[in-house]
Amino acid sequence: MSIELLPKKDNEKKVLYSLVQYPDLSDKELSEILGLKGSTFTSVRKRLKTEGYYKQILVPDLKYMGCEFLGVIFTSFNPVISLEERINITSETIEVADEIFLSIGDPEKGFSLSLNENYTNFVRINEKRTAVFGKAGLLEKEYPNEIIFPFQTSKTFEFFNYGKTLKKIFNLENILNVPKKSQKSEENSGKSTKNYDFYEEKGEVNLKANEKKVFSCLINNPKATLQEIADEIDLTRHTVSRIKKGFFKRGLLRYLTIPNLKKIGYGLLVFYHFKFKPQKPPRDEDFEELNSDSTIYFVGKKFEAVMLSLYKDYDAYKNDKTEKFTYLKMNELIIFDPEIRRYTFDRLKIIKDMVFEPITEKILKNN
């Protein structure tokens, strides 16, 4: 079934794309890139924000501050119990875990992503999950599946990068990349120029007391002004500004603009779990071949990977899936077909939506 895309106007699509693709640039810089008047850009941006087309957050990079690995859990459920009832059962026992930052489900299945200090905490969460699901009769034919991606041995090829798929679904292939002169130099100076993120031995990052206060305020309220933060934690505006710039320079924070996928008109969110041949682990080039325009999240290690992809409709998914499977089999990278779980937007529920405040507070407390 064809889905009518929103927003409908070209300027709205361009503005939304630019906000998602370049979340750290100002209205002035983005309007210049798009060739729009500054007042036009700002007016459209405010309208999109008011109508709920996007939100902007700050994402902490906690792997140098105490987090050891990313945890992925995916589960199948007994469809006799409604999604609403399941959420009520788990909301006060599982989803409240500080470590979980994203949780998505539909009546038959669900998955979550978490940032974890150690394996013990991860096991406790999953044991509680299994016990709650079992007691409530939610489990269908399997225990919750768990996958671990240690930061020191894993690579993140995409971290909720919606720009590629928006450009494609909005037919904005003529939009130019950001010219170098338009990039913010200070806050982007810590950003890797590589096309993937990986663990580097930078040494343990230990924040000072004032740095922890500013870091926490930024995560909890990314739109707060320097003066608002200064007033809240009793520091000078200059001190807050210096500390904030230091976070970006050290790569501890990054802006992320998240579009409202349902309002835009996507039909499918697809979860892929790849297991590769032990005789032939994939190279970086192989990961890049699997990383299509539909991919928004992609993390991999030597013999395993997880990917999230967005599609307008089933046909788009089928074409992309065929290309992935063809590449994997022609290059003899797999023995078994990947685990694929499809979530249609008319049935899925975003239970926890990129919530980093609890795990950040926990890490800062132990840092």
pLDDT at 175: 65
CATH number at residue 300: 3.30.70.100
> For residue 163, is it within any domain?
yes
pLDDT at 176: 56
Domain ranges, residue 299: 266-344
> For residue 335, is it within any domain?
yes
List CB contacts of 352: < 8 A, sequence separation 6 or more. 95, 100, 101, 102, 103, 112
d(CA 267, CA 120): 37
pLDDT tens for residues 202-225? 567 889 999 999 999 999 999 899
For the chain, the domain total comes to: 2
> For residue 294, is it within any domain?
yes
Both structure tokens of 180: 């170098």
Strands, E, within 61-164: which ranges? 69-76, 100-106, 109-116, 145-150, 155-159
Q: Decide which of 196, 222, 250 is a domain's last residue.
A: 196
User: DSSP assignment, residue 178?
Assistant: P
User: Is 182 found in the same domain as 48?
Assistant: yes
- β-pairing verdict for 304-311 and 268-275: antiparallel
> For residue 293, is it within any domain?
yes
Nearest to 274 by CA among 105, 107, 157: 157
Q: Which residue has the tokens 């926890």?
A: 352
pLDDT at 78: 85
Distances from the Cα of 111 to the Cα of 26, 265, 298, 322, 335, angstroms = 35, 22, 15, 23, 24
pLDDT at 87: 87
CA 104, distance to chain mean position in Å, is 12
Q: Are 260 and 165 in contact (CB under 8 A)?
A: no
pLDDT at 135: 85
pLDDT at 241: 96
> For residue 4, is it within any domain?
yes
User: Is 306 found in the same domain as 187?
Assistant: no
> For residue 184, is it within any domain?
yes
**What angle, 0 to 180 degrees and rounded to 10, lies between the N-to-C axes of helices 209-220 and 237-249?**
80
User: Is 170 found in the same domain as 46?
Assistant: yes
- Fill in the amino acid letter for 361: E
pLDDT at 94: 84
Residues of the chain with pLDDT under 50: 1-4, 180-196, 198-199
Residue 167 has phi, psi (to 5 degrees) of -60, -40
The per-residue DSSP string of 307-357 comes to: EEEEESSHHHHHHHHHHHHHHHHHTT--SSPPEEEEEETTT-EEEEES--H
Reading phi first (left if > 0) and then psi (alpha if -120 to 50, else beta), residue 10 is in: alpha
d(CA 280, CA 25): 41
CA 118, distance to chain mean position in Å, is 21
User: Is 181 found in the same domain as 313?
Assistant: no
Both structure tokens of 151: 């930061």
User: Is 34 found in the same domain as 164?
Assistant: yes
Secondary structure class of 225 (helix, strand, coil): coil
